């Protein structure tokens, strides 16, 4: 075939693709074999775009974020962290029961309060904590607090990674409180308050204004930037050596996620991280250098407050 005939525009009949399963080539009206269709650059580009689009749709669950973690991306929340906890202890067993209660309550499932309280009281009795009446009463009190909090929540949207972490931490904290209230003892670090002057990074100050991206922070908040401060709250694990400090775990368990001015990203050294991990189930006080400014990553505000911790102590 000559170059002139190759350069001619193919007819609709010739442009039609051949069937790969056909036993023989299609023939033209003159009986000659149909030539192989050559794809032009635009055709190849369009086919490539289709495959890319399909790939994006297939991998969407891997890169989509949820409402609970959007403000703190790209940091990843982790629900499991190694802890030196005796799983057979009364505190650990109570935490497991309470975590199950929180999950059921968060999902609008029925909680048999009296049955669960009886099970918890039996565990407390094994360690001779309290008496029959106080064991059952304190157990019911803890369960009732969970159910009351859950009544205000939306139990149909599922649990995000932040909620998973908060639920486990809240359960451990409640178990710890229950053991202490009945005269039991729990492991705790005995560390003196660090010397020096520390400015209070108080929650009413930090969250006491409506945050708007790009807007100037209140003067009192800006004054904390670069200062040696102390803050208190409850820790949720982020990536290695990073934690989220919040005023209460309840809001993370059931309510709306914390606003970006209702949480502090805490950074600790490698040496501190091992000990800090064990404080996720209790309130802490943190001392260190404070930062108050918008931090951006990949176009998102990832944090407003950051604290480089020099001391992390239990409350």
pLDDT of residue 45: 43
Q: For residue 261, give the CATH number of its domain.
A: 2.40.50.870
Of 11, 41, 64, which residue constitutes the final position of a domain?
64
Measured in whole angstroms, how far is the alpha carbon of residue 121 from the centre of its chain?
A: 32
Residues 90 and 124 in one domain: yes
Domain contains 214: yes
Residues 234 and 273 in one domain: yes
Residues 309 and 211 in one domain: yes
Domain contains 192: no
Of 64, 95, 114, which residue constitutes the final position of a domain?
64
Domain count, the chain: 3
Domain that holds residue 103: 79-181
For the chain, the first-to-last Cα distance in angstroms comes to 89
pTM of the model: 0.53
Q: How far is it, in rounded angstroms, from Cα 301 to Cα 75?
A: 12
What phi and psi values does residue 113 have, to the nearest 5 degrees?
-60, -45
Residues 104 and 9 in one domain: no
pLDDT of 40 strictly over 90: no
Domain contains 190: no
Omega before 200 within 30 of 0, i.e. cis? no
What is the tens place of the pLDDT at every residue in 205-233? 999 999 999 999 999 999 999 999 999 88
What is the tens place of the pLDDT at every residue in 106-135? 888 889 999 999 999 999 999 998 899 999
What phi and psi values does residue 71 have, to the nearest 5 degrees?
-65, -25
**8 Å CB contact between 284 and 235:** yes
Of 24-38, 73-87, 134-148, the least confident = 73-87
Residues 175 and 212 in one domain: no
Residues 84 and 58 in one domain: no
Domain contains 1: yes
Of 181, 212, 240, which residue constitutes the final position of a domain?
181
């Amino acid at each position: 075939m000559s170059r002139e005939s190759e350069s001619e525009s193919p007819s609709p009949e010739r442009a039609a693709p051949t069937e790969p399963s056909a036993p023989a080539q299609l023939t033209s009206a003159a009986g000659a074999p149909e030539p192989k269709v050559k794809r032009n650059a635009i055709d190849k580009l369009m086919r490539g775009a289709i495959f890319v689009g399909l790939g994006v749709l297939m991998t969407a669950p891997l890169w989509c974020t949820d409402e609970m973690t959007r403000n703190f991306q790209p940091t990843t929340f982790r629900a499991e962290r190694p802890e030196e906890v005796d799983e057979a202890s009364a505190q650990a067993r109570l935490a497991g029961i309470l975590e199950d209660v929180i999950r059921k309550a968060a999902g609008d499932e029925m909680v048999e309060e009296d049955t669960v309280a009886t099970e918890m009281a039996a565990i407390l009795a094994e360690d001779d904590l309290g008496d029959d009446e106080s064991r059952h009463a304190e157990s019911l009190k803890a369960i009732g607090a969970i159910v009351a909090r859950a009544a205000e929540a939306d139990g149909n949207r599922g649990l995000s990674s932040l909620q998973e972490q908060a639920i486990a931490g809240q359960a451990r904290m409640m178990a710890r409180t229950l053991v202490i209230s009945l005269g039991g003892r729990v492991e705790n670090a005995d560390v003196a308050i660090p010397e020096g002057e520390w400015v209070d990074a108080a929650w009413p100050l930090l969250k006491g204004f409506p945050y708007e991206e790009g807007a100037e922070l209140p003067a009192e908040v800006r004054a904390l930037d670069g200062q040696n401060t102390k803050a208190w709250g409850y820790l949720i694990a982020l990536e290695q050596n990073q934690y989220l400090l919040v005023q209460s775990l309840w809001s993370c368990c059931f309510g709306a996620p914390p606003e970006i001015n209702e949480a502090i990203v805490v950074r600790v050294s490698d040496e501190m991280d091992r000990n800090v991990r064990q404080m996720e189930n209790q309130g802490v006080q943190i001392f260190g250098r404070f930062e108050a400014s918008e931090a951006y990553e990949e176009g998102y505000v990832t944090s407003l407050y950051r604290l480089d911790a020099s001391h992390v102590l239990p409350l």
